[in-house]
Structures are given as C-alpha cells and as structure tokens.
Chains A and B, each alone.
Chain A
C-alpha cells in the first residue's frame, strides 16, 4: 500500500473495478464485457495500474474507451505481456475467454 498523494487523490475517488460475476464460477466465455471486468479491470479499469501507465502515453487510457484496438493486438499484448504488463497465462484466461475479451475491446475496428 502506498500512501495517498496529492496527484493520486483524484484517482482514489473513482469507483473501483468491479466484476459482477466474480466469486462463484466464471462468466460465459462468450461474454467479453463480463470477462473483461473479471480478468482485466483490476488494472485496466479506473484507478488501475494499466490505466495509470497508459495515461502517460495514450488517450483515452481506459481500454474500454479505445476505438483503435484490434482483437489480434489485444491477444498478442495479453499473451506476451507489453511494457510493464506481465503476460496473462492460459490458466488465468483461456484462449476462448481471451478471444471474447479481445473481440469486445476490438469492437470499434
């Protein structure tokens, strides 16, 4: 836990990432939005590490607001890791689940 900072203060007021279906079992592999919330939003939701770091380089920083992502790029970034982001193993997100997430994030292309 890091102590709160003036610059972090605004971010601290943002809602935490929530995974509506977390807890018992996993969401259906076809529901990319629910899967994104469960598997990715802790870092790529408001106040997450990924959002904070992307905010230094690209706008909008929230992946769900991006319109330039392709599904292939999302899969590649998640499976190999990118920048400070570790790779996401298949035990954590199966190929089917990651494809659903990638299709959801890549829906703007």
Chain B
C-alpha cells in the first residue's frame, strides 16, 4: 500500500530534503517516479516511489536520514539502481523516497594490498576504467549485468566468474549511516586512523558486515573490497553437452574439483536458452504461444552449435600450475564425452578477453530482455541447492515441467559456489503479452513453493517475493525473521530505512507484510 502523507507534511519534508542535498538533487516529478520504478515489473502499478534524493557525501546521507526521521518518511537506498530482475531502483513499499547514491563515486585503491575502498555510486565500468587508466594490475569480479554498482552488487550477494566471484565474501570493512543519523565503521575501521580497515574483516568482538547485506539496518556509504591480482596465466575450456541428462554427471565431476581447490573459479552451467536469448529472438523461430517445442529447440541449437548445457571452466595463476591442473580438468571432462571442448589460453601481456572471466564489465547478456521481441525483461528465481548431480537433475526436471505447465521458455543455470549450487532462473517475460503476464506471478509462486517443499530456499529475490521467501525460512516459527525484526526495531524504531527489504518489517509498518 502506498504511503500517503498530508500535503503540508510532504511540503515540509521536501524543504528538508532540499536543505540536505540541494534542491537540484531532489526529484519529485512524475517522470522521476517513473524513472526510479522497476522496468521489469510484473505489475507496473506496484512499488512506485514518491520521488528521489541524491546525496553526494556521507554527511548528506546523514542529513537525509534525519529529515526522514523527522517526518516519518520511508527511504529506499539504492547504489545505482540496476538490480534488474530483482526490482531495479524501486522500493518494496510504494511511496518511499529513493536515496540515490549514484553521485557518490570515490575510489581509493591500495595497490600494495590489492584492495579498494569504494562509495556506492562506483559502477563496474567506473572501477574498470579507473584501473585501466592508472595501469593498476588488479582484476574485477563482474556480474553478467555490469551496469550496476560494485558494492551494491556485493551487498545483494551478486556473483562473478573469477576466483573472487563470491562478491559478498570480498567485502572488508564498511561505513554505515544508521537510522538515527549516526555513523559506524565496521571491522578494523572502528579504530580511528586504522591502518588495516580493508585488510582484516572481523575487527574485535562481533563482526557486523553481513548485518548490512540484503538488509535494511543501515545505509552503506563506503565499503572495502578485495580485488584479484592479475594472474600470470589463465587457461581453461568452453564445453557443450548434448543431453539434458548430462547435467547430473557434470555437476558430480566438477563438484569434487571445486571443493578440492583444483578449480578455484566458480563455473556456471547454463542451458541453451541462456546463450540463445542473447543472440536471437523467439519470433525468429516460431509464433506459437506456450513453452517452446523440442523441434524449435533443436533447430536453434543446431544453428548456433549449442549443447543443451554449456559451461566454461577457467584456471588462474602461475602458468606451470595451470598446465598441470588443465591436464586433470581435460581428462575429467573428456570422460563425460562433451559434444564440444574448446581450449582457451591467455598469458600476461596479451590483450584481455572481453569477458567476465577476465573481470571485464559486460552488458550484452541483458539482450535476453528482447527474447520475446517487444518490451521484455526477466525475473529471478534462484534457490540454493547442494552440489549433488542427482538433486540438481531432479530440480531441473521438476522446474522444467513447471515452465511447460505455465507456457514459459526454460532459461536457467546452475552456478557453483564452494559447497553449494545456485539454480538461477532468469524467467523471460513479455510485457506486451497480457496472457503471459497473467501467468508469471502464479508461476513464480509455484516455483518458490516447489523449492520449499524440497528444502531449498532462495538466495535473493524480486521485491514482489521478499515476504514469501522470508516466510519460507520458517524454522522455529520464523525465528530468523523475528530476530531480524527485533534488531530492526531496536536500530530503526521509526521504520524509515527500506521497510520490507528481505521481508524485514518494522513494527510500525508490519501491517504491510504480504501486500
């Protein structure tokens, strides 16, 4: 339900925001509401913000929070607002004021230690260009959509494709504005003049960094990240597998190599559509509604030489070590009889491959939004699974059947972590197809329920499903949610910072849960 303020209160609050950040950085027009909404929303009428304010400094963020507290206005902080598939810039609670941090773009690199201290507005392209311009031999870990913020991605537990790919685990020390307008620095940054803020994650006593991840307990205004030193060599292979049934054996072969540490990068096994949706459109192949038939899938795969599943593996480090590891990897993969095994090799000094495996930012994968030919998009459904071939194969079959039942085209991947898999489904939608859009929400709710019944929870979700997903974490009568909300109410009793984020509602807005 949208928040409605009395006109006099709103007018006074806008004066307060203008005093905090400057009138030129307050955006409350109808176009602004549209610009900060979710381009990929299932229902465009939900999650519409009141407007936005764009502070430039931590002090201005503090001032914004104090104005919001004075007038009881909910805020929704964004770093760059490019969380496409999960809600973009839009708030859970309609009528919230977006705190757009995209003007905060400071970068401080510590070359000797391979770390960087960033403000939230620094995008992957900004940091990449900064490192290139200054010839700094540190590599990024970029997601498939690299339009967004480096620390914003880490704060939503996004992933990349190098050995540093679990981005949230590379956070090291934060500066956070709390709901009372005070500032806290976490880890070693808690010491004034600390020399090790970006070097040791835990500080002394309880470590709070993850408390501010996927959270609404504060606004992160700076964060440290570890960056990967440029390796001497990158070797690997691109593989295609012909059968849907190849998924399980592939996972059971890669899992031990990943856990052993021979493979330090986290591979992602993607189905044919994950690749095809970038380079072609559905309308080029068929005009039949409903899930694609096997004949069309076969024709697309044939044209582009795709397997049903594909995966790219990369080894990073000293060339001699990579060569030894490559031999093990090649032998293991050949035993699975791939339809394609294409070796790749890079040595320091050669031009970078323009890909995520080299930490080079990308946006072209988002071309999948055009799969249906019109106004499209994708919505994420991403349960966490064990690294088990049998269980992943079963999840695939169960999910694929649901796609067919709801007439959707199956696009998914299985992304390795150190001990887990994330089954990322980017459900491709067509906002010009009313009949399809009517099916999308019940489809996603069925997927969430199916996963829950198997004991799988999501690692991240769209605004529309935050309450549902948090509800699925139900041990002890939703004890985790209750703990989160006890902390929320203690730190933010007025409920002004991102109410509803990750299903965490402050007491004064708890009636909004599930709406």
Q: Is the CB of B361 within 8 A of A2?
A: no
Q: Is the CB of A90 within 8 A of B363?
A: no
**Assembled-state Cα–Cα distance A22/B131 (Å):** 10
Against A, the Cβ 8 Å flags (1 = close, 0 = not) of B282-322 are 00000000000000000000001110001110000000000
Q: Is the CB of A5 within 8 A of B278?
A: yes
A86-B160 contact, Cβ under 8 Å, with A1-B362, A13-B354, A20-B129: no
Q: Is the CB of B375 within 8 A of A90?
A: no
For B161, what are the chain A residues with a Cβ–Cβ distance below 8 Å? 1
Q: Give chain B nearest CB distance to A20 CB in angstroms.
A: 7
B35 part of interface (Cβ distance < 8 Å)? yes
Q: Give chain B nearest CB distance to A71 CB in angstroms.
A: 17
Q: Is the CB of A42 within 8 A of B278?
A: no
Among residues of B, the one whose C-beta sits closest to the C-beta of A19 is B129
B243 part of interface (Cβ distance < 8 Å)? no
A88-B364 contact, Cβ under 8 Å, with A5-B278, A5-B279, A7-B304: no
For A79, what are the chain B residues with a Cβ–Cβ distance below 8 Å? 31, 35
Interface size (A, Cβ < 8 Å)? 47
Against A, the Cβ 8 Å flags (1 = close, 0 = not) of B255-270 are 0000000000000101
Q: Is the CB of B107 within 8 A of A47?
A: no
Q: Is the CB of B376 within 8 A of A84?
A: yes
**Assembled-state Cα–Cα distance A13/B358 (Å):** 13
Task: Name the prevailing secondary structure of the A interface residues.
Answer: loop
- Which residues does A use to contact B, with CB under 8 Å? 1-8, 11-20, 22-26, 38, 41-43, 47-50, 52-53, 56, 79-81, 83-84, 86-92, 94
- Which residues does B use to contact A, with CB under 8 Å? 24-25, 27, 31-32, 34-37, 39, 52, 54, 80-81, 84, 88-89, 98, 100, 102-103, 105-107, 122-123, 125-130, 132-133, 142-144, 146-147, 160-161, 238, 268, 270, 274-275, 278-279, 281, 304-306, 310-312, 353-357, 360-370, 375-377
Q: 12 extra interchain contacts, Cβ-Cβ under 8 A, other than A19-B129, A80-B31, A89-B89?
A: A1-B142, A3-B270, A3-B312, A4-B238, A6-B305, A20-B129, A42-B147, A81-B39, A89-B27, A89-B81, A90-B32, A91-B25
